[in-house]
Amino acid sequence: MRDNITKKYSNGEITVVWKPGLCIHSTNCWKGLGSVFKPNERPWVQMDGATSEQIMAQVEKCPSGALSYFRNDAEAAPEPTSTTPTVEVTFDGPLVITGDIVIKHQDGTEEIRKKTSLCRCGQSGKKPFCDGTHTKVGFKS
């Protein structure tokens, strides 16, 4: 099932992790760094298209958590400290939450996310998460 797919792309220094089931099609990645993120090509993430710093900066702008990265020498690095969550109310779009949060679902399950987008338009097919439907329905707020 697409929701459970995880793919990884490395340039030897960092690895970009791609979870297509979380993508809300914000277009941030390919509009922001089209030399690396090429949705019409395979592989669609081409790690030789920019420096590691540029790729990391762009991945951090992914609002859904579909894209993330780790440094390949992460074992040697200290554990990152947790961050105070912030909630950004985006124009005509979801609540983008950045920081360590625990989501408690109605069925009692819990999951930890570092970045996620929660639906604000009420039309998502994957509530509580945004699935990009706000664009199709012309949500304004």
Binding-site ranges for ligand SF4 (CB under 6 A): 23-29, 62-64, 66-67
Contact partner at residue 130 from ligand SF4, ligand FES, none, CB < 5 to 8 Å by partner kind: ligand FES
Nearer to ligand SF4, 10 or 44 (CB): 44
Neighbours of 139 (CB within 10 A): 17
Side-chain half-sphere exposure of 116, counting CA atoms within 13 A: 19
Neighbours of 58 (CB within 10 A): 22
124 binds ligand FES per the rule CB under 6 A:
yes
Contact partner at residue 123 from ligand SF4, ligand FES, none, CB < 5 to 8 Å by partner kind: ligand FES
Alpha helices in 1-141 (DSSP H): 28-32, 52-59, 133-136
Q: What span, in angstroms and rounded, lies between the C-alpha atoms of 11 and 23?
A: 22
Nearer to ligand SF4, 23 or 97 (CB): 23
User: Contact letters (x/-) for ligand FES, 40-79, by CB under 6 A?
Assistant: ----------------------------------------
Q: Which residue has the tokens 């012309």?
A: 138
